[in-house]
Amino acid sequence: MKNDLILRAMRGENVERPPVWIMRQAGRVLPQYRAVRNSVAGFKDLLKNPELACEVSIQPVDILGVDAAIIFSDILVVPEAMGFGYDMIEKKGPTFKKTLQSEADVAQLQIAPSGSIDYTIAAIKLTKAALNARVPLIGFAGAPFTIFCYMVEGGGSKTFSKARAMMYQNPALAHQILQAITQSTINYLQDQIQAGVDILQIFDSWAGISGEYIYNTFSIPYLQQISVAVGDKVPLTIFAKDAFFALEKIASIQHCATVGLDWTVSADYAKRRTNGKCLQGNLDPAQLYAPVAEIEKATRKMLQDFGKTKYVANLGHGLYPDLPLDNVKCFVETIQSYAY
């Protein structure tokens, strides 16, 4: 690997400067992404086309110079492979054709076998070949908890109250769904490793709606199962957004190498709760709307706060599509010109 800074940082080895990649770096903030996106009818046509998915996965490496690529796909490919398809509706987000409410709905659930998400696996193989070992390739999946939230709710929500209600009304049914998602996710992540990803990240984007009891009961055990099944062939990052209350538990998951952080926690708070694990994050993406002098200042403060070892710079969540590209570049350049 020509640039293995992120892999070294995750192993706790010395790095000359902090490595950086950005969540949602392959997306609408890049004009070159929008051009490819406009050449197809919908978002799903893009992610199901391995050649185009490869092209947009590599764009941020070429245009932003980030230290890793992330495969262009979506966390919702797993529920679709389980028989619960969705449409990505412009300005509204994902909408599921049917939701999981009753035992009868759950009876229709299939475990997605190895090989079922073949388009993303093909895209990974193409991207690995095209990257030619320039930087590592990150594979990913949603955490079972977050996928459960979408499948029960039928789409995005501010509260995911239907999903939370099921955990209290019918916990056995909730566990049955979570177990099926977990097995499907394990199959998918093992396929990704076989196809050549160098790092895996689990996105638990809706962890913040849970609270300690719900998270410990309905998320942590399934993350643990995934990490044990996937093993330590590639380093695993777990990003549970807004789950400040779960940092200790996440850090103690067996093969979790890196804990992803949103911007609500300070470096000091996170370090005290993560037992020496590598940390990733966590500038507020909205900071990138500020003038570049402010972005430089805030970015350098972030680097100072996290310190020299076991650290991967990133934002605290994905890029917003309307962020000025020059400001995004300023974030990356400030990190890459920072010498330890």
Alpha helices in the chain (DSSP H): 5-11, 31-38, 43-47, 50-63, 77-81, 103-107, 118-131, 144-153, 161-169, 171-195, 212-218, 220-230, 247-251, 267-273, 292-306, 325-336
Residue of 86, 150, 188, 222 marked catalytic: 150
Minimal CB distance residue for ligand CP3: 205
**Of 29 and 279, CB closest to ligand CP3:** 29
Give the footprint of ligand CP3 on residues 252-271 (CB under 6 A): none
Binding mask 43-82 toward ligand CP3 (x if CB under 6 A, else -) reads: x--------------------------x-x-xxx------
Q: Does residue 222 have an active-site annotation?
A: no
Q: Does residue 289 have an active-site annotation?
A: no
At closest approach, how far in Å is the CB of 43 from ligand CP3?
A: 4
Q: Closest by alpha carbon to 208, among 253, 264, 256? A: 264
Residue of 8, 17, 34, 74 marked catalytic: 74
- Count CB atoms within 10 A of the CB of residue 167: 20
**Cα 244-248-252 angle, rounded to 5 deg:** 140
User: Does residue number 156 form part of the binding site for ligand CP3 (CB under 6 A)?
Assistant: yes
Q: Among 94, 196, 208, 221, which residue interacts with ligand CP3 (rule: CB under 6 A)?
A: 94
At closest approach, how far in Å is the CB of 307 from ligand CP3?
A: 26
At closest approach, how far in Å is the CB of 293 from ligand CP3?
A: 27
Q: How far apart are CA 39 and CA 97, in angstroms?
A: 25
| Contacts with 197 (C-beta within 8 Å, 6 or more apart), sequence order | 71, 124, 128, 137, 138, 139, 234
Find the largest Cα–Cα distance for the chain. 58
- Count CB atoms within 10 A of the CB of residue 62: 12
CB 312 within 8 A of CB 278: yes
CB 71 within 8 A of CB 138: yes
At closest approach, how far in Å is the CB of 172 from ligand CP3?
A: 26
User: Does residue number 25 form part of the binding site for ligand CP3 (CB under 6 A)?
Assistant: yes
User: Does residue number 37 form part of the binding site for ligand CP3 (CB under 6 A)?
Assistant: yes
Nearest 10 degrees: CA dihedral of 236, 119, 328, 14? 30
At closest approach, how far in Å is the CB of 16 from ligand CP3?
A: 25
Q: Does residue 150 have an active-site annotation?
A: yes
How many residues line the site for ligand CP3 (CB under 6 A)? 21
User: Does residue number 329 form part of the binding site for ligand CP3 (CB under 6 A)?
Assistant: no
Which residues contact ligand CP3 (rule: CB under 6 A)? 23-28, 37, 43, 70, 72, 74-76, 88, 93-94, 140, 156, 203, 205, 318
> Which amino acids are annotated catalytic?
24, 28, 37, 74, 150
